């Protein structure tokens, strides 16, 4: 069955999924890169993102790898795509260079229309201006039976959680404090929203949890 | 060196250290007992609290056991001691029966004066009405060189964190959601307060983290 998934989304011990003050120099917010220390050394990151052939192959990598399996489309919030606010800078083609690590259609939530464009390696960026439900419909269709991965950021995931549209989340809890930033769970009642922890597994550099939505 | 410690304090995946609506039937708040599923099976809990001779002896137990080592006095918030608000019910002698699992002086933060009294097994309850600093002074003196353990609850720990008075915390992150309740870290900037994660260890039923305060 086609699923809507969040995967490899990292939060701090104090629950933040990104640091404050995102900018072109700090795409993950200040201190945000500390959340991902479990991910960077993995073979999955080293291969898929950096094009290298090395990397760790333990539990952290297993979770990272699963996050890319059977993904037919992605959805990203506008801040995951760009540091610019307001009208789009049409020179900007994402953080990832000419060959982004998606290789499938990517739907970006935004208030500003922009033409779709294709990158090397099969990634096509689409800009959706009519809301999270429309974006998900497009993504599910484009994924053609495969899963849709909601990449983030925090605000995007929270919106989809509140709408009850996410089937499964893999969250990595990193052993760091951010102190401030964007909090993933604050004010959300995950229990009432139907989510429970289905798996709880320690990796070398983070604790991995799998949250699943009860089927009503 | 004499330390001020928090130990075996459990929080949910969404960061709550107690459920909402504490009462005589729900001493840990609604759902709060789910936080402690890692603790109940341990040999430490089974022996120290229930007086049994069985129990698990793995990593969860190692952390539970450390929490009782070298403790010369405890500090508890009034809600840890009693479900009653306002004037004390002097019939009430705590949740723990005639022989509480402390066996040392216990200082309870409250706004209402009450005479100290002694229980079986060496526990003496003292009631401190002049604030957290005074309670800590009393406890450090009573501990006579051993450590002081701040038992909780959330509000008490937060006050001592904000005052910079805790040297070390062992927090157990349990794989459950509470959805609401008392949040341990919300609005506290642990990083700015000088705390870092010194250890990060998975147990069978919780992830254990040790937070230490940088010595300035």
Digit-coded pLDDT (tens) for A69-92 = 999 999 999 988 988 887 878 889
- Mean pLDDT confidence for B91-116: 94
The structure tokens listed for A94 are: 């994402």
Give the number of domains in chain B: 1
Report chain B's mean pLDDT, rounded to a whole number.
93
- Mean pLDDT confidence for B160-168: 97
Cα gap A214→A195, rounded to integer Å: 6
Cα gap B92→B82, rounded to integer Å: 7
Q: Give the pLDDT band of residue B141 (cuts 50, 70, 90).
A: very high
Facing B185 at nearest CB: one of A14, A201, A202: A14
Is residue B216 over pLDDT 70? no
pLDDT of residue B86: 78
Contact at CB, A189 and B179, closer than 8 angstroms: yes
pLDDT of residue A157: 97
- Tell me whether residue A90 is in a domain: no
Range among A26-40, A59-73, A187-201 with highest mean pLDDT value: A59-73
Cβ atoms < 10 Å from Cβ of A24: 10
Please state which of the ranges A25-29, A72-76, B181-185 shows the lowest mean pLDDT.
A25-29
Residue with token string 């993933």: A184
> Residue B125 has what DSSP assignment?
E
A-proximal residues of B, 176-195, CB under 8 Å: 176-180, 183, 185-186, 188-192, 195
pLDDT of residue A132: 97
- Tell me whether residue A91 is in a domain: no
Evaluate whether ipTM surpasses 0.90: no
Residue to mutate among A6, A15, A180, with most B CBs inside 10 A, is A15
CA torsion sign for B109, B33, B12, A161 is negative
- Tell me whether residue A122 is in a domain: yes
- Tell me whether residue A184 is in a domain: yes
The answer to whether B139 touches B107, Cβ cutoff 8 Å, is yes
CA A134 to the chain's CA centroid: 18
- Tell me whether residue A75 is in a domain: yes
Is residue B145 over pLDDT 60? yes
Tens-place pLDDT, residues B15-48: 999 988 888 788 888 888 899 999 999 999 999 8
Report chain A's mean pLDDT, rounded to a whole number.
93
Cβ atoms < 10 Å from Cβ of B40: 16
Q: Which residues pair with B26 in a beta bridge?
A: none
Contact at CB, B178 and A186, closer than 8 angstroms: no
- Mean pLDDT confidence for B91-112: 93
- Mean pLDDT confidence for B94-123: 94
Which CATH number do you get for residue B126? Answer: 3.40.430.10
For chain B, percent helix, then strand, then coil, each to nearest 5?
20, 30, 50
What distance in Å separates residue A200's CA from the closest CA in chain B? 6
Q: Which of A33, A35, A1, A29 is nearest to A15 (CA)?
A: A35
Cα gap A45→B45, rounded to integer Å: 42
Contact at CB, B13 and A176, closer than 8 angstroms: no
The answer to whether A148 touches A74, Cβ cutoff 8 Å, is yes
Please state which of the ranges A121-125, A212-216, B166-170 shows the lowest mean pLDDT.
A212-216
Report how many Cβ contacts below 8 Å link chain A to chain B.
79
Contact at CB, A179 and B190, closer than 8 angstroms: yes
pLDDT of residue B30: 86
Contacts of A185 in chain B (CB under 8 A): 13-15, 177
**Angle made by CA atoms B169, B101, B60, in degrees to the nearest 5:** 45
Phi, psi of A196 (to 5 degrees): -135, 160
Does A58 contact B at CB distance below 8 Å? no
DSSP chain A: ---EEEEEEEE-TT-EEE-SS--SS-TT-TTGGGGGTTTTTBHHHHHHTT--S--B-SHHHHHHHHTTTTEEEEEEEHHHH-S--SS--TT---SS-SS-S--SEEEEE-SS----EE-GGG-EEEEE-S-HHHHHHHHHHHHTTSEEEEEE-HHHHHHHHHTT---EEEEEE-S---SSSEESSTT--TTTTTEEEEEEEE-SSSEEEEEEEPP-
**HSE of A70, CA atoms in CB hemisphere, 13 A:** 11
A-proximal residues of B, 17-36, CB under 8 Å: 31
Contact at CB, B177 and A196, closer than 8 angstroms: yes
Does A175 contact B at CB distance below 8 Å? yes
- Tell me whether residue A173 is in a domain: yes
Contacts of B171 in chain A (CB under 8 A): 13
The answer to whether B129 touches B113, Cβ cutoff 8 Å, is yes
Percent of chain A with pLDDT strictly greater than 70: 99
pLDDT of residue A216: 57
pLDDT of residue B82: 86
- Tell me whether residue A92 is in a domain: no
Task: Pick the residue from chain B with its C-alpha nearest to A179.
Answer: B189
Facing A207 at nearest CB: one of B191, B195, B207: B207
- Tell me whether residue A59 is in a domain: yes
Pair type for strands B147-152 and B4-11: parallel
The domain in which residue A124 lies consists of 4-17+27-85+97-213
The structure tokens listed for B109 are: 């933060």
Residue to mutate among B13, B184, B195, with most A CBs inside 10 A, is B13
The structure tokens listed for A95 are: 């953080």
The structure tokens listed for A57 are: 């192959």
Is residue A215 over pLDDT 80? no
Facing B209 at nearest CB: one of A15, A175, A186: A175
Q: Give the pLDDT band of residue B7 (cuts 50, 70, 90).
A: very high
Percent of chain B with pLDDT strictly greater than 90: 77
pLDDT of residue B146: 98
């Amino acid at each position: 069955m086609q699923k809507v998934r969040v995967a490899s989304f990292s939060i701090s011990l104090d629950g933040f999924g990104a640091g404050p003050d995102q900018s072109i120099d700090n795409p993950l917010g200040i201190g945000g890169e500390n959340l991902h220390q479990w991910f960077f050394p993995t073979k999955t990151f080293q291969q898929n993102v950096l094009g290298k052939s090395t990397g760790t192959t333990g539990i952290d990598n297993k979770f990272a790898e699963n996050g890319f399996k059977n993904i037919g489309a992605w959805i990203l919030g506008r801040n995951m795509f760009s540091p610019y606010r307001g009208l789009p800078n049409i020179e900007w083609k994402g953080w990832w260079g000419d060959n982004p690590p998606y290789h499938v259609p990517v739907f970006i939530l935004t208030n500003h229309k922009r033409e779709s464009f294709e990158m090397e390696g099969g990634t096509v960026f689409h800009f959706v201006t009519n809301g999270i439900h429309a974006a998900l419909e497009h993504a599910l269709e484009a994924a053609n039976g495969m899963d849709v991965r909601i990449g983030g950021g925090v605000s995007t995931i929270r919106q989809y959680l509140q709408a009850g549209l996410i089937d499964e989340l893999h969250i990595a809890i990193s052993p760091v404090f951010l102190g401030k930033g964007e909090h993933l769970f604050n004010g959300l009642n995950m229990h009432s929203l139907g989510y429970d922890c289905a798996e709880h597994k320690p990796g070398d550099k983070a604790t991995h949890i799998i949250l699943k939505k009860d089927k009503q």
